[in-house]
Amino acid sequence: MRNAFIRTLEKLCESNNDVFLLTADLGFRLFDSFRKKYPDRFFNIGIAEPNMIGISAGLALSGKNVYCYSMIPFLIMRCFEQIRLDLCYHNLNVKLVGVGGGLTYGLEGITHHAIEDISIMRSIPNMTVIAPGDPFEVEAITNLSLKYKGTMFIRLGRSDEPYVHSSVPKLEIGKGIRIFNRGSDICLLVTGAMLYKAKVTSELLLRKGFGVTLISLHTVKPLDVILIKDCAKKYKSIFSIEEQSIIGGLGSAVAEVLSEVQYDGLFRRIGLPDKFNRYVGKTEYLHQKYGLIPEKIADNIAKLIKGI
Amino acid sequence: MRKTKNMKSQEIEEFQEVAKKIRREILDMIYRAKAPHIGSSFSIVEILVVLYFKYLKISPNNSQDKNRDRFILSKGHGCPALYAVLAHRGFFNSDILKGFGCNGGTLEEHPTRDLIKGIEISTGSLGHGLSIGTGMAIAAKHDNNPYRVFVLLSDGETEAGFVWEAAMFAAHHKLDNLIAIVDYNKIQALGRIKEVVDLEPYSEKWRSFGWEVKEINGHDFAQLFSVFEDIPFKHGKPSVIIAHTIKGKGISFMEDKLLWHYRCPDKEEHKKALKELK
């Protein structure tokens, strides 16, 4: 995902002289080419994220289009107040590009995990929250972000995420996109790098005899409320899937809408528990522990629907 | 030579009159609104008057000019002084000052960005200004734009770590278009700086972070004129002016008193203070 981001941004820079890229000393080798091509628009701020956000505000107030890059906990949790005041209050053109959504950096431990980021960012006025589902969505979102006015948090995984789309999809910020449209028993609403696993889950559920629709909600805020209200009318059961704590993320956002329209179907949030991880292992291992693998998700959904 | 000297002292007298007028305005605003921070507003009056009436390249008629000098009041709580100066400099009508700190007014007790009014950035949470100013200074350098960025900080504010992140970065990138001014009135919200967390040796701190430092009396117009004439103090280095000031300056019973960080004058005190500003 991060490769798709930097590749796309580099291309955008060819025709846009106002793009600046800041990093807080992360992204080893990732920026080599960008740096070489645009040395006066690349700054390694050092391990000083609050300063990076402040500097990005100053640049944006001077008409620049700024991208700040780091691992999510350092990028958004350390500098929450700088983001709230310096960026969002002024609604500045700064895009916060965070890597390591969820348990991406599994073995690195809690310091590097990001299970609360969507909830935190979603709570700030003027903040747009986006978690692209695959490298093609990253490319589409990066392209859209250039002209997008305002502050945005783009949540990435790392690298090696499998492709779900067959080419760069036509996305619109704030609008979900149907990936899979085969029935109305179950609707899966997914955000971020869980997209691929959700797709496999859909196939398993189909095989179990359910009609399934899969929607990528790359934009968690502003939420595609129209689409969710429409889902409430069409589908007997709705499940949100995300690599985030079940508190405050996509699941909560969807629940807010569903409860207000008095959805009478079955709704469950699928995500990470409200706990600090206590296992040691790579992402896949941790996903197994938390049931975030297609077989487990499909089984749980089937059981829930059958009321077992 | 004599003539120049006379002109200079005449100019100083004029500035002293403006400063007095601004102090009266601040006193009334704070009295009406029952607002805090009168001491922190009084300590920066001369600095703001010199900047806005002499050195900042700004124009109330063209407040969004891309080439304007930028001024950031990082110590946002001192904004009554900024509002009063902006009004008297012609950015907005003095009547608007009556809407300070009251229901339905347009001026809060910490400033919100409003370029038409000449307010460059929203501040009030301490520590933010220098990083933002650093970003503006980078943009100016990148665009070969000659504007300068002035950031006025409180002394206590520089206890915040990320002020020094910005200081380190600005020196590393040789941002000589960035000027920090510290209102060193030596009192913070809950006590004397040296009793809370001592900043000394203060100049040495800035110097060791790569800044060119000058110390002045922040209420002495002659010293203020000469220090701003010298900017940048050194080519290739950011400049910092450590302005030794007095909290509550101008009102005998407020000067150098912790109480007047938060206290708002009552009727008697307001009357007494007004008399001193005649």
Specify burial of residue A239 (Cβ count, 10 A radius: 0-12, 13-18, 19+). buried
Where residue B6 falls among pLDDT bands split at 50, 70, 90?
confident
Which among B120, B132, B142 is the nearest to A54, CB-wise? B132
Contacts of A86 in chain B (CB under 8 A): 128, 131-132
| One domain, residues A237 and A270 | yes
Sheet holding A186-190, edge to edge: A177-182, A212-216, A186-190, A237-245, A266-272
For A283, the domain range is 177-306
Q: Does A33 touch chain B (CB under 8 A)?
A: no
CB B258 within 8 A of CB B248: no
Domain boundary among A155, A189, A216: A155
Q: Kindly list the residues of chain B whose beta carbon comes within 8 Å of any beta carbon in chain A.
A: 66, 113, 120-122, 125, 128, 130-140, 142-143, 149, 161-162, 165-166, 168-169
**Structural domain includes residue A239:** yes
pLDDT for B5 equals 73
pLDDT for B150 equals 98
| One domain, residues A209 and A247 | yes
Which among B121, B139, B166 is the nearest to A51, CB-wise? B166
Tens-place pLDDT, residues A258-291: 999 999 999 999 999 999 999 999 999 999 999 9
**Structural domain includes residue A8:** yes
| One domain, residues A8 and A150 | yes
Q: Does A183 touch chain B (CB under 8 A)?
A: no
| pLDDT tops 80 at residue B50 | yes
Q: How many CB atoms lie within 10 A of CB B51?
A: 22
| pLDDT tops 60 at residue B1 | no
**Chain B residue at shortest CA distance from A66:** B135
Contacts of A82 in chain B (CB under 8 A): 128, 131, 162
Contacts of B140 in chain A (CB under 8 A): 62
| One domain, residues A112 and A213 | no
Which among A55, A63, A90 is the nearest to B134, CB-wise? A55
Query: What percent of chain B stands above pLDDT 70?
Result: 99
What contacts A91, CB < 8 A, 6 or more positions away? Answer: A126, A149, A150, A151
**Structural domain includes residue A192:** yes
Tokens of B110: 């910490």
pTM equals 0.96
Contacts of A81 in chain B (CB under 8 A): 125
| pLDDT tops 60 at residue A21 | yes
| One domain, residues A150 and A207 | no
Q: Are strands A186-190 and A237-245 parallel, antiparallel or unpaired?
A: parallel
Average pLDDT over residues B160-180: 98
Residue numbers of A between 88 and 107 with CB closer than 8 Å to B: 89-90
Tens-place pLDDT, residues A55-83: 999 999 999 999 999 999 999 999 999 99
Q: Does A80 touch chain B (CB under 8 A)?
A: no
Contacts of B137 in chain A (CB under 8 A): 58
| pLDDT tops 80 at residue A308 | no
Query: What percent of chain B stands above pLDDT 90?
Result: 96
3-class SS letters over B193-249 = HHHHCCCCCHHHHHHHCCCEEEEEECCCHHHHHHHHHCCCCCCCCCEEEEEECCCCC
| One domain, residues A151 and A225 | no
**Structural domain includes residue A88:** yes
CATH among 2.40.50.100, 3.90.45.10, 3.30.1700.10, 3.40.50.970 for B2-276: 3.40.50.970
Residue type, B22: I
Instruction: Inspect the interface and report whether the beta carbons of B139 and A57 lie closer than 8 Å.
Output: no
| One domain, residues A242 and A102 | no
pLDDT for A159 equals 76
Contacts of B135 in chain A (CB under 8 A): 54-62
Question: B115-119: long-range contacts at Cβ-Cβ below 8 A with a sequence spacing of 24 or more?
Answer: B115/B63, B115/B64, B116/B63, B116/B64, B116/B91, B116/B92, B117/B63, B117/B86, B117/B91, B117/B92, B118/B58, B118/B60, B118/B63, B118/B86, B118/B89, B118/B91, B118/B92, B119/B82, B119/B86
Contacts of A43 in chain B (CB under 8 A): 138
Cα distance from A300 to chain B (closest Cα, Å)? 47
Contacts of B149 in chain A (CB under 8 A): 58
Residue type, B119: I
| One domain, residues A139 and A26 | yes
Counting the structural domains of chain A, the total is 2
3-class SS letters over chain A = CHHHHHHHHHHHHCCCCCEEEEECCCCCCCCHHHHHHCHHHEEECCCCHHHHHHHHHHHHHCCCEEEEEEEHHHHHHCCHHHHHHHHHHCCCCEEEEEECCECCCHHHCHHHCECCHHHHHHCCCCEEEECCCCHHHHHHHHHHHHHCCCEEEEECCCCCCCCCCCCCCCCECCECEEEEEECCCEEEEECHHHHHHHHHHHHHHHHCCCCEEEEECCEEECCCHHHHHHHHHHCCEEEEEEEEECCCCHHHHHHHHHHHCCCCCEEEEEEECCCCCCCCCCHHHHHHHCCCCHHHHHHHHHHHHHCC
Picking from A45, A55, A93 by the largest number of B CB atoms within 10 A of its own CB, the best residue to mutate is A55
Q: How many CB atoms lie within 10 A of CB B94?
A: 12
* A and B: number of Cβ contacts within 8 A: 84
Cα distance from A90 to chain B (closest Cα, Å)? 8
Where residue A158 falls among pLDDT bands split at 50, 70, 90?
confident
Instruction: Inspect the interface and report whether the beta carbons of A58 and B128 lie closer than 8 Å.
Output: no
| pLDDT tops 90 at residue A160 | no
Asked whether the bond before A135 is cis by omega within 30 degrees of 0, the reply is no
Contacts of B174 in chain A (CB under 8 A): none
Tokens of B143: 């665009």
Domain boundary among A155, A186, A202: A155
| pLDDT tops 80 at residue B3 | no
CA distance B139 to A114: 32
| pLDDT tops 70 at residue A128 | yes
CA distance A8 to A33: 12
Cα distance from A57 to chain B (closest Cα, Å)? 6
**Structural domain includes residue A260:** yes
Average pLDDT over residues A41-50: 97
pLDDT for B2 equals 59
Which residue's structure tokens are 């304007």?
A: B68
Domain borders along chain B are: 2-276
**Structural domain includes residue A231:** yes
| One domain, residues A12 and A151 | yes
Instruction: Inspect the interface and report whether the beta carbons of B136 and A50 lie closer than 8 Å.
Output: no
Tens-place pLDDT, residues B121-133: 999 999 999 999 9
Domain boundary among A91, A124, A155: A155
pLDDT for A171 equals 97
